[in-house]
Structure 1
Amino acid sequence: MKSTVFTVTTGRTEVVQDITGQCASFAGEASGGGDGLLNVFVPHATAGVAVLELGAGSDDDLLAALRDLLPADDRWRHAHGSRGHGRSHVLPALIAPYATIPVIGGSMALGTWQSVALVDLNIDNPDRQVRLSFLG
């Protein structure tokens, strides 16, 4: 298995951050043009990985849906940090902190409009680690 870690700076706002390029580069290099599985994992209790269409409004729609499902208010028992921080700890139950993507001939076998994104509602932690692992 080959593995690497990279950092994503999400800033102090809720974000759906495209990481497809980093994933594709690693998959191509680690696979040597072969087949296998790419696992994308964020080792954080408050972030997730999503495979979805980006750039056509879906990323904003996802954030709007998460705001509806997980409002940033005072209802959360996990109450340290910014207002509504507890919702960030519920996020990984809805958007898992991992995704596994087939790699065929050195390329991720994503659908036509699919991208890989880091989903982060936690405005208290602007830097995230993403671990990519390739199993041939």
Structure 2
Amino acid sequence: MNTEVLDVDTARRRVVDLTPAVRDFCARRGDGLCNVFVPHATAGLAVIETGAGSDEDLLDALERLLPRDDRYRHAHGSPGHGADHVLPGLVSPSVTVPVGDGQPLLGTWQSIVLVDLNRDNPRRSVRLSFLSG
């Protein structure tokens, strides 16, 4: 299995498109599976369309589902930080995509994105792993 770790800064954007990095990682690897995993308790990954408003719609929906207030038992950190710890229950910490001839077999409008609402930690690691088929 081949693996690589990306360092991602989410200070300016809560949804970060990882697709170019995943494409680069898969290039020349042939057929197999690419797993993208974020080893953090307050971030997740999604496959969505980006650039047409869907990323902002996702953030709006998550903010409605996970309001940043004092309702959470997990109460350390910035106000509403408990919501950050619920996020991976809704937005999975991993995504696996098939790869054919070194290309992730995503749909025309699909992108792999990191979703991070946590204001307390803008540095994220994302592990890419390739399993040949």
TM-score normalized by the length of structure 1: 0.95
Query: Residues of 1 paired with 2:25 and 2:85: CA distance?
Result: 29
Q: Which runs of 5+ in 2 are unaligned?
A: none
Query: Residues of 2 paired with 1:110 and 1:26: CA distance?
Result: 14
Instruction: Check whether the contact 1:38–1:133 (CA below 8 A) recurs between aligned residues.
Output: yes
1:14 deviates by 6.1
1:62-101 equivalences under 5 Å are 62-101=58-97
What is the root-mean-square deviation of aligned Cα atoms in Å?
A: 0.9
1:47 deviates by 0.3
4+ aligned runs moved over 4 Å, structure 1: none
Corresponding residue number in structure 1 for 2:3? 3
Corresponding residue number in structure 2 for 1:18? 17
1:1-136 equivalences under 5 Å are 1-11=1-11, 15-29=14-28, 31=29, 34-136=30-132
1:4 deviates by 0.5
Query: Residues of 1 paired with 2:9 and 2:86: CA distance?
Result: 21
1:6 deviates by 1.0
1:46 deviates by 0.3
| Partner SS for 2:84 | helix
| Partner SS for 1:3 | strand
| Partner SS for 1:86 | helix
Question: Deviation per CA, 1:31-79, whole angstroms, max 9, x where unpaired?
Answer: 1xx1000000000000001001000000000000000000001101100
Identity of aligned residues (%): 61
Matched positions, count? 132
Q: Which runs of 5+ in 1 are unaligned?
A: none
